[in-house]
Amino acid sequence: MCGLLTFISSRSDAPFHREAVAHALESLHHRGPDETGVQVIGSEVIFAHKRLSIIDVAGSHEPLPYANGRYLLTFNGEIYNYIELREELIRDYGARFDTEGDGEVIVAGFHYWGEAVVDRLRGMFAFVIVDTHQRLVFGARDPYGIKPLFHLVTPDGLYLASEKKALLPFLTEAYYGSADGRGGVDTANLSHYLTLQYVPEPGTLHRGIGRVGSGECFTYRAGGTFATRRYYQPQFRPTPTDDPESLYRRIRETLRESVRMHMRSDVPVGAFLSSGIDSTAVVALAREFNPNILTFTVGYDVDGYSEIEVAQDSARHLGVTTIPTKIGPQDMMEALPKIIWHLDDPVADPALVPLYFVAKKASEYVTVVLSGEGADEFFGGYTIYREPLSLSTINGLPNPVQKGLRKVAQVIPQGVKGKSFLERGTTPLEERYYGNARMFTEAEKRRLLRQYDERVRYTDVTGPIYAEATAAGLDDVTKMQYIDLYTWLRGDILVKADRMSMAHSLEVRVPFLDRPVFDVAATIPVDLKLPPHSTDTKFAMRQALREVVPPAIVNRKKLGFPTPTRVWLAGEMYDWAHDIMGRSGAGDLLDLTYARNLLDAHKRGEADYSRKVWTVLVFCVWHAIFVERSLDPGITRAQSALLTKPVVGSMVR
């Protein structure tokens, strides 16, 4: 595990760039405090990295050479089947290895298998390989986007980094919009953020910097074109079965094997534990291989939000120790600048905050934790996935009838029961579903955005994905899962998991996001994901785990580290939020008076505007850190190049 920063010069002047790269690397210190390296290779390449030592702690130094130095690798992540691949390469090719780590398997595999190595890797990864003979750069990101990889192409050459902040010092005026960073916000992606609560891949909020997509690899030659291709595309194939118990066994055993593989480590491994089935299942299976595994949970002193009590009951049932941590509104206010600095781009998911604190606590005891991300997308866990079933009575009506019902819905007053049902039931799935988060409507964005562009729509993001799902003949429920794999999962869930854990030099592993697990989950028919006469979600997975997790958890509804922002924004956090928007320099992009009015209406109890307000707050803090540069997030290590200018004020107290 590490933070990587690689530069491939188009002018053969890499040695002159070394100090700038070394300085930018310090912004990634949290990703790898165990080892720092900056090495110039020839006159064209600089490898810089920060290492968090997990496997082969004493060896596997980067850049890792292979074939007498022909290839050089820098790598972020873990390859869980590295032992099996290593044995195969020795047996079939007589490959030689100088380390005991997993990274060398990647570069050796590239030597013998070429680009096809990416199809052999089971794990989470972002890597860069330089072939010094061919003067070729090859790299890839894991199938589901667990590990990040940002890129920037300039006249100087190609930059690649684990986090966007390490690339910001190398943005030129032509790419950024202006020399001091102002005006460089990508307004189309800002519009998407206000709809989705995250910036969708492959873009970012900084023009010129992009992301290698999940399941993509790339090639590059100095001075040439940065070219990506998708090497992995998840294929759902729901298959009716007359033997559901056999399917349940396959799910259970595949998950058990995945957890076993994910526990390969030379340092202590713990696990997050919430009140739901996903994390509880991971803990239950993990304790089969380590009965003394430590678990970690988080909660609040607010009724209906804390998961600590349920997690403690589950821990007692499983015979493991859970270590709780509680947070309050002051903790949230103080931590938000640090959280947003680590994010790089705003993500308006309040669950970031408890995840940040539970990761902080876990890092005091272990270096690696297991977590339950991905189960909902793979197995059909979101309640909204039931919508196509509930709307089927309207969707099946002839088009003229649906048009008539849509007109009826238009004249029904807001808030009247039945209006939303008719509106959604007469709207095609491709237009009504764009993920789990729906922040501001287009009408609301017209008021909020200073320069609203009606040409920028969420369908720009989801349209191509729907086209693939339709071509594959997927049903509506599975289409929604497919959309979430390419949007919500990699834009929100995995960004949250990676950044909040790495903020504390903690590695999060996600056993559900394993290709063999997807291969079995992809076959589950809709009636076993979401039984028509039940309110259950993830039904097949729950049945598969009914003898593994405590009985009280099998059918428990999902909470997932909920956050009482609704309560706190109307109370303890109101003045703080009002002050942030009042001081923000983002007023040239957003109508912050409109946003403050939403906050006031929320405080008065007129409606729950907490998520909308939080979305604006997160952007304002992001803008203060990365555009105005007026807010010091309080990072204790040497500051990023962004933060070397004097701080002229503080918005967050």
Among residues 117, 121, 107, which one has the least CA distance to residue 47?
107
Residue that is written with structure tokens 């009140």 in the block: 275
Alpha-helix runs per DSSP H in 173-306 = 173-176, 187-196, 244-262, 277-286
Q: Is 582 annotated as a binding residue?
A: no
DSSP 555: T
Q: How far apart are CA 318 and CA 280, in angstroms?
A: 9
Considering the candidates 2, 205, 277, 549, report the single residue annotated as catalytic: 2
Q: How far apart are CA 153 and CA 400, in angstroms?
A: 51
Do the Cβ atoms of 300 and 326 come closer than 8 Å? yes
CA dihedral (28, 5, 125, 232) positive or negative: positive
The encoded tokens of residue 149 equal: 């990889």
Q: How far apart are CA 520 and CA 256, in angstroms?
A: 13
Q: How far apart are CA 479 and CA 462, in angstroms?
A: 11
Do the Cβ atoms of 334 and 573 come closer than 8 Å? no
Q: How far apart are CA 202 and CA 209, in angstroms?
A: 9
Q: Which helix (H) or strand (E) holds 500?
A: helix 494-502
The DSSP secondary structure of 598-646, one letter per residue, reads HHHHHHTTSS--HHHHHHHHHHHHHHIIIII--------SSPPGGG-SP
Q: Which helix (H) or strand (E) holds 550?
A: none
Q: How many CA atoms lie within 13 A of 129 on its CB side?
A: 30
Q: How far apart are CA 128 and CA 140, in angstroms?
A: 7
Residue that is written with structure tokens 């300039």 in the block: 154
Q: Is 372 annotated as a binding residue?
A: yes
CA dihedral (141, 142, 146, 147) positive or negative: negative
- Is 217 assigned a catalytic role? no
Put the strands of the sheet holding 507-509 in their side by side order.
321-326, 294-299, 269-272, 368-370, 507-509
Alpha-helix runs per DSSP H in 66-150 = 82-93, 103-113
Residue that is written with structure tokens 């959280």 in the block: 339
Burial of 174 (0-12, 13-18, 19+ CB in 10 A): exposed
What's the CA dihedral at 567, 569, 571, 573 to 10 degrees? 130
Q: Is 156 annotated as a binding residue?
A: no
CA dihedral (87, 90, 91, 92) positive or negative: positive
Angle among Cα 156, 162, 163 to the nearest 5 degrees reads: 85
Q: How far apart are CA 344 and CA 626, in angstroms?
A: 8
Q: Is 77 annotated as a binding residue?
A: no
Q: How far apart are CA 313 and CA 27, in angstroms?
A: 40
Q: How far apart are CA 87 and CA 89, in angstroms?
A: 6
Query: Residues marked as binding for L-glutamine?
Result: 102
Query: Residues marked as binding for ATP?
Result: 298, 371-372
Query: Residues marked as binding?
Result: 102, 298, 371-372
* Residue positions annotated with a catalytic role: 2
